[in-house]
């Protein structure tokens, strides 16, 4: 074992700036032996905790467990950031190999009868232990984690649950890798004539994508940052259809990368897992610790939003179909037509042309806006760092406040074939105070079309702010125990900070200051800014229907008996909702990574909307003061939400910030749907 540890940069002391991983020294071949050593160390430490002859105490059980996986956390922090953002065949192979091994390790821990006995003894004696509130919360969550992982099961039930969880880990990895393979392999070459009618920024993105793919011509890929603007602007209906159908067909193309059988097996095993633990459905199991608590409450929220959104979308569909017919095209509006005619309508009704707007929304300008808002709200300062990172496209900043180091923030913003689609926030190291003041290393990953310069759509700029809201939740965390640090909160609470931060992009003074033309440096014209903000709820019927339909399918998959044919179940749910013909789910089942690549958002895709109910109300707290940067409100936001992590139940934290829980009306108003109720 010592031989495998010697010279392995993942296992040695990181004598680097801010203790960052030594990315320049790490090779793919280092990961497998590092995992082996780290797992062995973790197992040995857990065995020592479980077999400790001394009476259980919070320190020798819970705090010891908190520090038992130091090496494993470091290896996982590096490896899983890389597999998502910069995958290689070697990394994918090891990811597949490690999925069942890490699942088996997790099951060993929660199935350890001696270890759970010590935790249970603490739980039963909790009122006499003199615990601080944060310690009491951590003990509660540890016990809940063990119980929900099967610690109360014995014999055949415990053994079967371990098998189920191991298989689910394998299936989730396969699902993700299949989706990435489909996204990576499909391209649609464009002849010079096919570029007619496309704005310069779309042409530049297509040419850059062609270069990245090693082609000598422009291409459309399945990266959202390329395919969405192509669907918005290409007058070639045949090419729009071809690109759109490839986009929605990801994970359902037959052959080795088809995800449909994986989904069916995943749903069966999730149901079995829930029933082994005594729940009637996986949705009941998954929602129990969340704010929503029950499937019925989730459905109630979604349906309250669905009906006004559908009415709005159907009205918009009629307008767009009339525009289609005016172009001499017979037949109904199709899904590959919606964005094209909606963009034309936006130009006609709001005089907003994305090709004219984007030069004012360069990535550099929006990064400046994003950081400036954090400075004004929380006193944070951002200094660029010149340090080795895992890819040349990445950038890093030191985050400071009042002369004190707060965090390292890494931004990885450009689309590439080795990166999975979407945008996300992760950490390489989480904040905690136990065992020394550990400051976080936080990563934001996006998929913007790389250009010189990189110009964003307004939706892209929202994504930038959204992911940075997650980053703030990580960076401003101020707890003792890593188990409740940062975004370690209820799934339907975790999107509150991210969605709330988007609101500052809509503050006029922010865009007045930062939305400047990348060539001239001139501010966005006042009239353009007014029109941009006035169009803030444009096409929200479409966006809301896209989202809610996906959330309803996710809920239906997990609430009842696992469907033998998930695609048939999807069709039945959409039919029962009266899904508008020209709109598809935002995430069709074979590429619904939120719900199927792991347990994260399974039975929980609704979480974005649950959090949106709160984010609309939370920003209103600033608006009520007359100052979107009101210092007292920002201080309360940091104290009760951003710094608190999972130290208390989410509803308690939010109520402390705002005084009460909100209703759905702020959400409907924010989406421009209130008038249709």
Residue 675 has pLDDT above 90, yes or no: no
Task: Give me Rg for the CA atoms of the chain.
Answer: 25
How much is the mean pLDDT over the chain?
95
CA–CA distance, 551 with 602 (Å, rounded to integer): 10
Strand partners, 442: 409, 427
- Backbone phi, then psi, for 38, in 5-degree steps? -65, -40
Q: What is the pLDDT of residues 221-232, one digit of tens each?
A: 999 989 999 999
DSSP SS3 for 385 = strand
Please list, in sequence order, all residues whose beta carbon lies within 8 angstroms of the beta carbon of residue 500, skipping any fewer than 6 positions away: 469, 614, 615, 618, 619, 637
How many other C-beta atoms are found inside a 10 Å radius of the C-beta of residue 320? 21
Q: Which two tokens stand for residue 453?
A: 């310069």
Positive or negative, the CA dihedral 152, 158, 160, 166 is positive
In this prediction, residue 676 carries a pLDDT of 45
CB-side neighbour CA atoms (13 Å) of 297: 14
> Which entry of 63, 69, 354, 467 is annotated as an active-site residue?
467
Count Cβ atoms within 10 A of the Cβ of residue 98 and give its class: 0-12 exposed, 13-18 middle, 19 or more buried.
buried
Q: What is the pLDDT of residues 331-370, one digit of tens each?
A: 999 999 999 999 999 999 999 998 899 999 999 999 999 9
CA–CA distance, 238 with 621 (Å, rounded to integer): 48
> Which pTM does this prediction carry?
0.94
Residue 670 has pLDDT above 70, yes or no: yes
pLDDT band at 677 (very low <50, low <70, confident <90, very high): very low
**307: annotated active-site residue:** no
Residue 3 has pLDDT above 70, yes or no: no
CA–CA distance, 59 with 239 (Å, rounded to integer): 63
Mean pLDDT, rounded, for 409-420: 95
Q: What is the pLDDT of residues 64-112, one digit of tens each?
A: 999 999 999 999 999 999 999 999 999 999 999 999 999 999 999 999 9
Q: What is the pLDDT of residues 427-477, one digit of tens each?
A: 999 999 999 999 999 999 999 998 889 999 999 999 999 999 999 999 999
In this prediction, residue 653 carries a pLDDT of 97
In this prediction, residue 674 carries a pLDDT of 79
550 neighbors 249 (Cβ within 8 angstroms): no
CA–CA distance, 195 with 431 (Å, rounded to integer): 48
Domains of the chain, start order:
2-110+112-149 (1.10.1370.40), 186-249 (no CATH), 358-534+672-676 (1.10.1370.40)
Mean pLDDT, rounded, for 528-550: 95
Beta strands in 123-226 (DSSP E): 188-189, 219-220
| Tokens 């239906």 sit on residue | 556
Q: What is the pLDDT of residues 632-668, one digit of tens each?
A: 999 999 999 999 999 999 999 999 999 999 988 888 8
pLDDT band at 509 (very low <50, low <70, confident <90, very high): very high
């Amino acid at each position: 074992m010592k031989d495998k540890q010697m010279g392995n940069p993942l296992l040695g002391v990181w004598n680097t700036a801010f203790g960052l991983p030594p990315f320049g020294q790490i090779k793919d071949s280092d990961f497998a032996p590092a995992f082996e050593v780290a797992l062995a160390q973790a197992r040995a430490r857990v065995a020592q905790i479980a077999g400790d002859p001394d009476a259980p105490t919070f320190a020798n059980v819970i705090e010891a467990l908190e520090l038992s996986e130091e090496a494993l956390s470091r290896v996982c922090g590096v490896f899983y950031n890389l597999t998502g953002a910069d995958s290689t065949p070697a990394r994918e192979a090891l990811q597949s190999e490690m999925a069942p091994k890490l699942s088996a390790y997790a099951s060993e821990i929660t199935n350890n009868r001696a270890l759970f006995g010590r935790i249970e003894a603490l739980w039963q004696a909790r009122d006499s232990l003199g615990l601080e509130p944060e310690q009491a919360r951590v003990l509660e969550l540890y016990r809940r984690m063990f119980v929900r992982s099967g610690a109360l099961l014995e014999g055949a039930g415990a053994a079967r649950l371990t098998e189920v969880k191991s298989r689910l880990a394998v299936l989730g990895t396969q699902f993700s890798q299949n989706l990435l393979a489909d996204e990576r392999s499909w391209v649609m070459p464009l002849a010079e004539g096919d570029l007619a009618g496309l704005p310069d920024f779309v042409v530049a993105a297509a040419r850059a994508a062609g270069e990245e793919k090693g082609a000598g011509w422009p291409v459309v890929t399945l990266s959202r940052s390329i395919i969405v603007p192509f669907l918005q602007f290409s007058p070639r209906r045949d090419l729009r259809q071809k690109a759109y159908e490839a986009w929605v067909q990801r994970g359902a193309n037959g052959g080795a990368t088809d995800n449909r059988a994986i989904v069916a097996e995943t749903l069966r095993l999730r149901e079995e897992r829930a029933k082994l633990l005594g729940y009637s459905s996986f949705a009941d199991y998954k929602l129990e610790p969340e704010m929503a608590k029950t499937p019925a409450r989730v459905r109630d929220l979604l349906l309250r939003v669905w009906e006004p959104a559908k009415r709005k979308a159907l009205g918009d569909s009629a307008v767009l179909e009339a525009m289609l017919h005016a172009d001499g095209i017979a037949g109904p509006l199709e899904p590959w037509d919606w964005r094209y005619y909606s963009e034309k309508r936006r130009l006609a009704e709001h005089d907003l042309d994305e090709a004219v707007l984007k030069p004012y929304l360069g990535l550099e300008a929006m990064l400046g806006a994003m950081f400036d808002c954090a400075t004004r709200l929380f006193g944070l300062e951002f200094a660029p760092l010149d340090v080795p990172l895992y890819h040349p496209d990445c950038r890093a900043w030191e985050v400071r406040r009042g002369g004190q180091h707060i965090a390292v923030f890494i931004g990885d913003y450009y689309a590439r074939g080795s990166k999975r689609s979407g945008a996300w926030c992760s950490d390489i190291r989480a904040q905690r105070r136990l065992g020394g003041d550990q400051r976080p290393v936080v990563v934001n990953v996006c998929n913007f079309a790389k250009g010189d310069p990189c110009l964003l759509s307004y939706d892209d700029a929202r994504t930038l702010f959204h992911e940075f809201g997650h980053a703030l939740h990580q960076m401003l965390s101020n707890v003792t125990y890593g188990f409740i640090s940062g975004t370690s909160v209820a799934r339907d609470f975790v999107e509150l900070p991210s969605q709330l931060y988007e609101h500052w992009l809509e503050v006029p003074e922010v865009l007045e200051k930062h939305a400047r033309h990348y060539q001239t440096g001139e501010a966005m014209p006042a009239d353009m800014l007014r029109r941009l903000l006035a169009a803030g709820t444009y096409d929200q019927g479409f966006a809301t229907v896209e989202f809610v339909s996906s959330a309803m399918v996710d809920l239906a998959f997990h609430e009842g008996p696992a469907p033998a044919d998930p695609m048939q179940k999807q069709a039945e749910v959409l039919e029962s909702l009266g899904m508008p013909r020209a709109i598809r789910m935002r995430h069709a089942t074979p590429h619904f990574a939120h719900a199927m690549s792991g347990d994260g958002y399974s039975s929980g895709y609704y979480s974005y909307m649950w959090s949106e109910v709160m984010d609309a109300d939370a920003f209103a707290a600033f608006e009520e003061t007359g100052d979107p940067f009101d210092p007292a409100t920002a201080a309360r936001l940091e104290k009760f939400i951003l710094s608190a992590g999972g130290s208390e139940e989410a509803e308690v934290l939010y109520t402390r910030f705002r005084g009460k829980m909100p209703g759905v009306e702020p959400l409907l108003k924010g989406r421009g749907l209130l008038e249709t109720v």
